Structure 1
């Protein structure tokens, strides 16, 4: 794997500045860019490690703290290992913050993130890829729908509420997508039940989007996150294979 260089940065937005992590191959050359959206627990060492792994495969990766309006990361105090017992206490605080992030804010922030990435010397020209985990899967989908000319590919892993009956459900952007799309759902995920999986699949198919949606058998919601009790090494490695394959086709 290529040596990487990572640093903490601030990305200017219309509402202030989003603290973020930027990592890229340490070769001084520009590389295709990936906007990596955090899970609900946010920007922390394990997510930086995931971004570094992606950078080691040849990409310039930015991971913004999408809850920056609530404070710099970590927005809430997190244990070194997030087990089932600690989740209720953490989400009691995080839940309202996540729900306060409106689709309009997401799209405005995405514009700022994409513009900032495009202006970085570490970034090659042209569209970027967007990928997200949990909460971030919906953000990736909304970003691709809002700025299809700037997004080459979209991926989401163990996302929740991607295809609800709400008038602003993320899946309703399907008709605006242009790049390839990949979603990998957790098995038996209450946040993404079978009816939502079917609704997302139907929307992407009807829109003629090149896509693949899969369920990872036996994997819990959060299966990619190594610092949580939901981590599933087999499912996580499958996700890496799928994500890198998507990026290879996009770039």
Structure 2
């Protein structure tokens, strides 16, 4: 397993989701420490000119969780894209992705989905992040928080939630598939190198391969052929399962490409696949009624 796509079977310390107090009330500034060192020569920085961008609070049944929102400063209502974080939480790269989407005319919002389990931004040990935080985040909690984020966007009056999309990276790539099986209002999803198979835990009881027949929206999956944590064989298996179930899915594998190839702030960044994936994301959202 890749350290960015961990097997959580032996790490989950709880047996069922429960209501918990929100621990993280503000988003981190900059990049997560565990993602250091930052490859400054390749990092993409998107300004907020012409945008309304910054932290917001999303109400949930347990209290408000922080989120980063970006949208055009005028006009609207705008089509909505939920942005689901990497394993490192909502740090600068995820915020930048929101601004990139806002520059394309979307209302982009990234809720901090570890808010009840802890702040990973200051942690330096990836295995500790997995063990102490990520393994304790129930899928049911994540899906509920994404639903709450959609409700928050709708309530703002600035978002057209009838045109709802989702995209996510690494840990968030898996969540894209889960949300596509969860929300019948979703128009389309784009999953970047999210795990498709693996051992189930009480808090993460299903993997994308288990949910193919339940998919309610078309999903584009973008994968690296040299990603040790997501074997190409599982991508092939997912492609065939979608075909057999009559689901609209497109799974793209970039040869000789590692995990996290869109993470422009890390050495794993591959400009060619990243640019191609970004173009495919836009086309997928246009094709399926998000844009």
Structure-1-length-normalised TM-score = 0.87
Pairing 1:23–2:58 present: no
Q: Does 1:158 pair with 2:193?
A: yes
Look up the SS of the partner of 1:42 in the other structure. coil
- In the superposition, relative to structure 1, how do residues 235 and 90 fare at CA in structure 2: closer, same or farther (>3 Å)? farther
Please list every run of 5 or more consecutive structure 1 residues that lacks an aligned counterpart in the other structure: 79-88
Q: CA deviation at 1:199?
A: 2.3
C-alpha separation in 2, matches of 1:66 and 1:12: 13
Q: Which residue pairs with 2:23 in the alignment?
A: none
The separation in 2 between residues aligned to 1:177 and 1:120, in whole angstroms, is: 28
Aligned to 2:58: 11
For 1:171, what is the secondary structure of its paired residue? helix
SS at match of 2:227: coil
Find the aligned partners of 1:164 and 1:195 in 2 and give their Cα distance. Answer: 13
Give the Å deviation of 1:76. Answer: 2.8
Deviation at 1:227, TM superposition (A): 1.5
2:276 pairs with 238, 242, 247, which one? Answer: 238
Query: 1:163 touches 1:197 (CA, 8 Å); kept in 2?
Result: no
Q: Report the 3-state secondary structure (helix = DSSP H, G, I; strand = E; otherwise coil) of the residue aligned with 1:182.
A: strand
Query: Separation in 1 of the partners of 2:77 and 2:232?
Result: 41
1:224 lines up with 2:269 in the alignment: no
Is the CA contact 1:159–1:191 (under 8 Å) kept in the aligned structure 2? no
The equivalent of 2:134 in structure 1 is 98
SS at match of 2:228: coil
Task: Determine if contact 1:106/1:142 at 8 Å carries over to the other structure.
Answer: no
Query: Whose relative contact order is higher, 1 or 2, with alpha carbons under 8 Å and at least 6 apart?
Result: 2
How far is 1:127 from its partner?
Answer: 4.2
Instruction: Tell me, yes or no, if structure 1 residue 111 matches structure 2 residue 165.
Output: no
The alpha-carbon deviation at position 118 of structure 1 amounts to: 2.4
Structure 2 residue runs of 5 or longer lacking an equivalent are 1-45
Aligned to 1:184: 222
Q: Post-superposition shift, 1:165?
A: 5.8
3-state DSSP of counterpart to 1:41: coil
Q: What SS class does the counterpart of residue 150 from structure 1 fall into?
A: coil
Residues 76 and 94 of structure 1 are in contact (CA less than 8 Å); yes or no, is this contact kept in structure 2? no
When the two structures are superposed, what TM-score results if normalisation uses the length of structure 2? Answer: 0.76
2:116 is the alignment partner of 1:69: yes
Report what 1:146 is aligned to. 182
Distance of 1:27 and 1:53 partners within structure 2: 16
Aligned-partner SS, 2:71: strand
SS at match of 1:39: coil
- Count residues with an aligned counterpart: 237
Give yes or no for contact 2:180–2:219 (8 Å, CA) kept in 1: no
Q: Report matched runs for 1:126-137 at 5 Å.
A: 126-137=162-173
Counterparts of 1:207 and 1:116, CA distance in 2: 33
